[in-house]
């Protein structure tokens, strides 16, 4: 097993101007990675897209891998924050269809706001870097949904709640990958696939409700 740590930024900016420059570079990197994939993207392309000299990019990032890691970490943190705003303790009281709508709506809205990078994360496949980014997002999302399930179903064991959350998100992420593919072929059909995805998630949440209710009645 490879325990090598991914490369990091050379330095973190201390002034607002530097932070703005890093954000500008990360925005450009997200767009280029999303459009061309990791292998085809170059730091020269990213610098040009950001409108900064290549030397400015290298002031903060030693190489393309460090830049990709920074983009993936920012994406993961923002996805985690978006889900956290949706999966509040109060959301545990929602009916299955309403909870499914809130959860899926949040994921779709976030994905649309970061569409190019979302597309390659959903279709990570065998790419180790993308698979690692996708796995981190799944871990965060599963933990947040498991916390909601802890409020919703205290009779379910902790490992059971986390397993259920991972099953739910794994299925949804896979289906959102399908929706992305279908959208390129037919936007109307992609909406139908999205509706089916929400119905599947609501049904699974409802099945968890029934399982927990059955145990509580014993």
Tell me 15's DSSP state: S
Do 43 and 114 reside in the same domain of the chain?
no
Vertex 64: Cα angle to 138 and 48 (nearest 5) = 115
Q: Is the pLDDT of residue 183 over 80?
A: no
Residue 1 lies in a domain: no
Structure confidence by residue, pLDDT tens digits, 10-52: 777 778 988 999 999 999 999 999 888 888 999 999 999 999 9
Report the domain count for the chain: 2
100 with 152, same domain: the answer is yes
- pLDDT tops 80 at residue 6: no
Asked if residue 86 and residue 44 are part of one domain, the reply reads no
- The span from the CA of 5 to the CA of 83, in Å, is 27
Rounded to an integer, what distance in angstroms lies between the CA atom of residue 178 and that of residue 82?
Answer: 22
- Residue 39 domain flag: yes
CA torsion angle 20 117 100 190 (round to 10):
130
- Do 93 and 168 belong to one domain? yes
| CA 105 from centroid of its chain's CA atoms | 13
Q: Is there a single domain that holds both residue 58 and residue 75?
A: no
Q: Does residue 211 sit within a domain?
A: yes
DSSP 207: H
Instruction: List the CATH number of the domain containing 115.
Output: 1.10.357
| pLDDT above 80 (res 98) | yes
DSSP label at residue 81: H
Domain limits for position 93: 71-216
- Looking at residue 2, what is its pLDDT? 45
Q: Is the pLDDT of residue 71 over 80?
A: yes
Q: How confident is the model over 114-159, as pLDDT tens digits?
A: 988 888 877 765 567 777 878 888 899 999 999 999 999 998 999 9
| 115 shares a domain with 59 | no
The residues, ordered by sequence, that sit 6+ positions from 121 with a Cβ below 8 Å of its Cβ are 75, 130, 133, 134, 137
Tell whether the model's pLDDT for residue 176 goes beyond 60. yes
- Asked if residue 107 belongs to a domain, the reply is yes
């Amino acid at each position: 097993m490879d325990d090598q740590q991914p490369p990091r930024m050379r330095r973190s900016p201390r002034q607002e101007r530097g932070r703005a420059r890093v954000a500008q570079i990360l925005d450009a990197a997200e767009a280029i990675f999303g459009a061309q994939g990791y292998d085809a993207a170059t730091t020269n392309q990213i610098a040009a897209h950001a409108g900064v000299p290549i030397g400015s990019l290298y002031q903060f990032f030693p190489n393309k891998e460090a830049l990709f890691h920074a983009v993936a970490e920012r994406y993961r943190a923002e996805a985690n924050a978006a889900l956290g705003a949706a999966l509040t303790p109060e959301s545990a009281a929602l009916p299955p269809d309403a909870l499914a709508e809130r959860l899926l709506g949040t994921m779709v809205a976030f994905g649309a706001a970061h569409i190019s990078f979302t597309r390659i994360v959903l279709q990570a496949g065998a790419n180790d870097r993308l698979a690692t980014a996708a796995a981190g997002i799944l871990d965060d999302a599963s933990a947040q949904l498991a916390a909601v399930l802890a409020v919703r179903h205290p009779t379910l064991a902790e490992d059971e709640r986390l397993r259920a959350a991972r099953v739910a998100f794994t299925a949804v992420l896979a289906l959102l990958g399908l929706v992305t593919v279908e959208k390129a072929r037919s936007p109307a059909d992609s909406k139908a696939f999205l509706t089916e995805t929400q119905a599947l998630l609501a049904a699974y949440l409802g099945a968890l409700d029934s399982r927990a209710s059955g145990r509580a009645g014993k």
